[in-house]
Amino acid sequence: MGITESLNARLGVNGFNYDYSYTLDDTDYDLTMDLQTISLLADWHPFDSGFRFSAGMMSNNNELTGRALPVGGSLNIGGTDYDVGLDALIGFNSTAPYLGIGWGNAVSADKGWGFNLDVGVLFQGSPDVSLTPFGADAGIVDADDLAAEEQRVESDLENFKYYPVVSLGVSYKF
């Protein structure tokens, strides 16, 4: 929607899912990345071209889930070995600011095909990790060990608080 000659507003929906499994050090890992955002952005076109600066907010439903299952062994949780598996849920702030630059103007007067490019960053905050042990010995996992392991994983994933965004789009205006 055009607000002024050089300022537009746009609403977007983005999604991507990816599953990955691997084995490392006698442990099977199953990981799922579920990325979902809804954005409300303002585009400022400072020049008489498609170049733009973008800023706005996103409803952020990005989430990572995983399962670690030792193959005939144990898992080290917070410095102690346990005969359990672990389920992980990693989430981020539910709303997050976005800044970017791009090319394209969906509300221009030009008819026909249009191409859009966005490159930016979603400031989704530090990850929040929740680990849940499962298996016959799940009840004996020490809460302090579990909390220490959650903090270790959060520290390892700290760089994910800045989520890079690259988006390509095609449009046709009649």
Domains and CATH numbers, the chain: 7-173 (2.40.160.170)
Quote the DSSP letter at residue 156. H
In the chain, the N- to C-terminal Cα span, in Å, equals 16
- What's the confidence (pLDDT) of residue 154? 94
Q: How far apart are CA 98 and CA 90, in angstroms?
A: 20
Report the distance separating Cα 102 and Cα 100, nearest Å: 7
DSSP assigned state of 127: -
Mean pLDDT over the full length of the chain? 92
Is 173's pLDDT higher than 90? no
Q: What is residue 40's predicted lDDT score, i.e. its pLDDT?
A: 96
Render pLDDT for 93-105 as a digit per residue (tens, 0 to 9).
999 999 999 998 8
Contacts of 162 (CB under 8 A, 6+ apart): 121, 122, 123, 124
Coil, strand, or helix at residue 140? helix
The model carries a pTM of: 0.81
pLDDT at 33: 95
136 has pLDDT over 90: no
- Closest of 95, 93, 115, 12 to residue 54, by C-alpha: 12
Separation of alpha carbons 24 and 2, rounded Å: 52
Mean per-residue pLDDT, 48-58: 94
Residues linked to residue 10 through DSSP beta bridges, in sequence order = 41
